[in-house]
Amino acid sequence: MRTPKPPRADDSTTVGTTGDTDGNHDTDGTASRLAEPGGSSGKVQSLERAITLLEATADSAPDGETATNLASRCGLNRATAWRLLSTMEQYGLVERDPLTSRYTVGFAVARMASAAGFDGLIRRSHGVLRQVSEQTGETANLAVVQQLGLTYIDEVTPPVVLSAKWLGRQAPLHATSTGKALLAWLPAEEVDVLLAEPLTAYTDTTVADRGRLRAELAETRERGYSVCAGEMERNLYGVSAPVLGTRDRPFAVLSIWGPQDRVPESRFPALGALACGAAEEVARAARAL
């Protein structure tokens, strides 16, 4: 494995530098204070810019984006953006296609993400799930987006209700409201990749036809939440709403579900609206992490 070279000491993107070559340097020393770890804001300006670029690169998946467009999107000088991207490329955080010069997220990000826990997100969102469960009398859970789909990480069940436990399980994307909430907010190209395998019909209501599924995903996005009427397990009905990050890309999904006799389709509109509001609360909590 190639050992990345550390940035040069005279590089303006080096953490702690007080110089700024993108034209934003402030002669009264404000920029210097922002760039230094001990400054009044407590932030490192060059690191903030690198993080912004990395997030914009992730949002450009799956096609990637050029340095020029990334710089424009992040409000950065092109030279500054190029230096930051080059440094991140050395460390495997981004990859550049030599033919198109488009940047995509590098393998190092996936490696770090696989080692990440979800304790912070669970801690900040658990109260929202508890409130939803108490308000509806049904199970509320949260699933996070991972490389090949969704995994349930937290769940609140009413104490008097016996229900299946989904923690740690992965959701069949086409046969659950959780999965359809993810698919409806992803680019068509990514949906094709995630649904490359034949669609299994788990029950007689499972939508296993791709044309019908695409039509339902379009309706889901317009409505704001997804629904499931016994498509994974015949007696389980529910609704889900995406937890959206930058550029309205989902990073998690919040669901409310229960048995058909307690969660009939007539409850879907009210539960869907509640799920959307709760998902927005989780998104706000996640931004504070």
Please report, to the nearest 10 degrees, the dihedral formed by the alpha carbons of residues 55, 57, 60, 61 taken in order: -100
Q: In this predicted structure, what is the pLDDT of residue 120?
A: 85
Kindly tell me if the per-residue pLDDT of 30 is higher than 50: no
In 3D, which of 83, 254, 90, 233 has the Cα closest to residue 164? 233
154 beta partners: 142
CB of 189 within 8 A of CB of 62?
yes
CB of 231 within 8 A of CB of 205?
yes
Largest CA distance in the chain: 70
Kindly tell me if the per-residue pLDDT of 227 is higher than 90: yes
- Interatomic CA distance for residues 237 and 231, integer angstroms: 8
The H or E element containing residue 144 is strand 139-146
191-219 mean pLDDT = 95
Instruction: Give 255-289 pLDDT, tens digit per residue.
Output: 999 999 999 999 999 999 999 999 999 999 888 76
Cα angle for residues 235, 241, 243 (degrees, 5° grid):
140
Kindly tell me if the per-residue pLDDT of 43 is higher than 80: no
* Residue carrying the six token digits 């009427």: 229
47-76 mean pLDDT = 90
- Looking at every residue in the chain, the average pLDDT score rounds to 83
Confidence of residue 185 (pLDDT cuts 50, 70, 90): very high
CB of 103 within 8 A of CB of 84?
no
Confidence of residue 161 (pLDDT cuts 50, 70, 90): low
pTM over 0.95: no
What is the residue type of 233?
A: E
- Interatomic CA distance for residues 9 and 180, integer angstroms: 49
Q: Return the structure tokens found at 284.
A: 């706000």
